[in-house]
Structure 1
Amino acid sequence: MKTNSRILQNVIFASAISLGMVGCTDDVRTDGFTNSDLPEIHELSQAQKDVIAYTPKNAIIAHRGTEFWAPEESEAAMRWARNIGADYIECDLQRTKDGVTLALHDESLSRTTNIEVIYPNRWQDYVSAFTFEELLKLDIGSWFNEANPEQARASFVGLDVLTLEDVIAIAEGKRIKRDDNGKRIIIRDSEGKYIGTEYEPDPSDNGNRPGVYIETKAPYMFAGMEETLRTILEKTGWYAENIDDLKVIPTEPGKVGIANTPARVILQTFDLSALKNFDRVFTRKIPTLYLTMDLINSSPITYAERLNYAIDNGATAIGPNIAVGNYPASILPWQAAMARRSGLDVHAWTFNTNQEYLAYTGPWCDPEKKGGADKNSVDMTFTNHADVAIEYYRTTLEEYAAKGQVYFKSNESVRKACPGKYPDYDNLQKNKPFMTAQEVLDHLGYYK
């Protein structure tokens, strides 16, 4: 999902310039329709409205932890995202032959592991053809160093594949417990089968408690993935039929605390059947994103049809992509306006520069410099550079606000729905302490 950071770096500036045009001056309709075309948008259920009310706005989602600063979906990437101050850490789901749910993007292993060295006769096999302990023999860090020499760190070598439970533990301030050789300490049943991993308090934890943003990848390959996901979330205390029964996760004032709110988990999928399955399996409605990336040529009618499908099948947010690289935007100004009219939140992907944020959060779409949250097309953003995103909200948008040009989405409904759970300001990034990406990695013990 959501393009690789390495590709983005080659197109960043040119894309940013065109983004400004998409976000602002491309508001003239050229598709044969007029701005008075207002197709019917279905009504959100009360349960959807209640969830949207407690889902935070202006939040930052660390895409795969990071693709830029550490190997994606590795322990290093997830710990980095937590400590840098991301509001959510994002992961994708795959499943092994023996039923372990992995945090891994690809169905195959050739892009992000050394499988051709370890299993030369099986390198084309899907993840689902391997047991978890077979996969633990793979190195998911060395490829990153080879592909990104400027970000390479010797301590990335030998990183192992993560499970969903690992990601949740990291969000709670823990790390994987390892032996003297750096191998994870495994919990087995009486027959020697893997049933879990031991965790320990992370000595480098800085108190942030982000939520977890989960995508089911290729759900058609894994029957019952949604039921498995619910089981894991219930076991870890991150989902319960009654909100009051959710696990209490201690938080600290001034630190990210979304892990201790009802919005601690957000589900996402591109797959239409998976969206229905989320709605069926999670009988207490939780935040749910329907991802899109094929709507650039849509008309108001076809865009409304997609929004209505999302609404009718339990989504609380729509997930369009911005224009980056070979991906044309599916969040043009009229599309963003229609999404706002539907009442769905907008969680767009994938932002990596100030210019990209400027194009969609308001400043470049406000030629009269009056400000207004209606100029802001997004409620949350996915990013490979949570460090850049946090600093943008902390400084750039704050500077506009100081001049009376306020573009923040309001978190008033969030505070009312969850009293005492969220900060009392709309800019969730405002008071986060600043550390560079490299400083965080050094602090976590990932040295060059």
Structure 2
Amino acid sequence: MHARAAAATTTALLGGVALLFPVSDAGADAGAERPPSVFAHRGASAYAPENTLAAVDKAAELGVQWVENDVQRTKDGELVVIHDDSLRRTTDVERVFPGRSPWKVGDFTAAEIARLDAGSWFGAAYAGARVPTVAEYLRRVEHHHQRLLLEIKQPELYPGIEGQTLDVLGNEGWLDRQHLADRLIVQSFSADSMRAVHEQEPAVRTGFLGTPSLARVAEYAGFVDQINPSHTLLTPRYVSAVHRVTGAHGRPLEVLTWTVDDAATARKVAGYGVDGVITNKPDVVRDALGGQ
């Protein structure tokens, strides 16, 4: 279903919001006695090149249900999965297009980006891996019956990317009741971006990346369901205070924290009461927490 066509349906569903959002692995009731959910950061990116289909496959191999990715836009309007706004760090763009410094994602067409090797930098075993489109990534996640934490990266560089992202999600079947209930979260460092997502598709769960003041948390709660800070800035008091605020869908705000790659830190933030841990090493964190 196209996102614009889905808008009316998803908005109508808000009348039964308690039914639309049952207990989920991304943070059920705040304070519930259960381990935090584990999110594979850029896929299982400690073990496969980040934001590639191989990283999704590795997360699935490890039995990880949630994967996280980053979305940006090409010169000709295709949405692709890559973290940096430059292609330089994770592809061979300097070799293939030597005269196009600084190699910004938005300066290349989708066809040009499709030519790049996004795996060799990580290891010879991944030579030839490509930068996937968002549609390709969604299909791979769906193939593994996984769940997606999708980050809209630097939306100020790509006006209108929120609506375009929702269009792709709708076209790939990710705006139906099941996906909206417990398989999809959209996040960003931009509050304005999350406000736009909420206004355009109110049933989509959203998260704000950062550690806003509690006054701002109360403001953001009108259009987000999560506050997602770095673990380096997290305190038990902050987590507890966020949990006391009701989010956009009538439930306590959740807290996902990033990026935690060792067992000791994972246990520490779990003790703070976080709902989820974003990690490059999902197996390490899962084993430390005894969760899923």
Shorter-chain TM-score tier: 0.7 to 0.9
Q: Is the 8 A contact 2:88 2:103 kept in 1?
A: no
Residue 51 of structure 1: how far off its partner (Å): 6.2
1:268 corresponding residue in structure 2: 187
Residue 46 of structure 1: how far off its partner (Å): 8.3
Residues 286/51 of structure 1: CA separation in 2 closer, same or farther (3 Å cut): farther
Residue 393 of structure 1: how far off its partner (Å): 2.9
Q: Is the 8 A contact 2:180 2:204 kept in 1?
A: no
- Amino acid aligned to 1:270: F
1:316 corresponding residue in structure 2: 225
Query: What TM-score, normalized to structure 1?
Result: 0.56
2:30 corresponding residue in structure 1: none
- SS of structure 2 residue aligned to 1:116: helix
Question: 1:89, 1:168 → 2: CA distance?
Answer: 11
- SS of structure 2 residue aligned to 1:162: coil
Unaligned runs of 5+ in 1: 1-44, 146-153, 174-207, 247-259, 296-302, 324-328, 363-375, 395-426, 430-448
- Amino acid aligned to 1:209: H
1:99 aligns with one of 56, 65, 77: 77
Residue 344 of structure 1: how far off its partner (Å): 0.5
- Amino acid aligned to 2:141: A
Question: 2:243, 2:191 → 1: CA distance?
Answer: 21
CA distances 1:2-61 after superposition (whole Å, capped 9, x unpaired): xxxxxxxxxxxxxxxxxxxxxxxxxxxxxxxxxxxxxxxxxxx98877666543233211
Q: Is the 8 A contact 1:60 1:386 kept in 2?
A: yes
Question: 1:341, 1:49 → 2: CA distance?
Answer: 18
Query: What TM-score, normalized to structure 2?
Result: 0.84
2:217 corresponding residue in structure 1: 307
Root mean square deviation, CA, Å: 2.1
Q: Is the 8 A contact 2:21 2:182 kept in 1?
A: no
- SS of structure 1 residue aligned to 2:139: helix
CA distances 1:274-321 after superposition (whole Å, capped 9, x unpaired): 0110111113x222111105x5xxxxxxx2212112212x10111011
Residues 379/90 of structure 1: CA separation in 2 closer, same or farther (3 Å cut): same
1:237 corresponding residue in structure 2: 173
1:171 aligns with one of 141, 146, 156: 141
2:198 aligns with one of 256, 279, 300: 279
Q: Is the 8 A contact 2:180 2:205 kept in 1?
A: no
Percentage of matched positions with identical amino acids: 28
Alignment of 1:399-438 (within 5 A): 427=291, 429=292
How many pairs does the alignment contain? 264
1:341 aligns with one of 216, 241, 244: 244
Residues 63/234 of structure 1: CA separation in 2 closer, same or farther (3 Å cut): same
Question: 2:21, 2:276 → 1: CA distance?
Answer: 12
Q: Larger C-alpha radius of gyration, 1 or 2?
A: 1
Unaligned runs of 5+ in 2: 1-13, 28-35, 246-251
Residue 101 of structure 1: how far off its partner (Å): 0.6
Question: 2:15, 2:196 → 1: CA distance?
Answer: 19
- SS of structure 1 residue aligned to 2:265: helix
2:276 corresponding residue in structure 1: 380
Question: 2:198, 2:186 → 1: CA distance?
Answer: 10
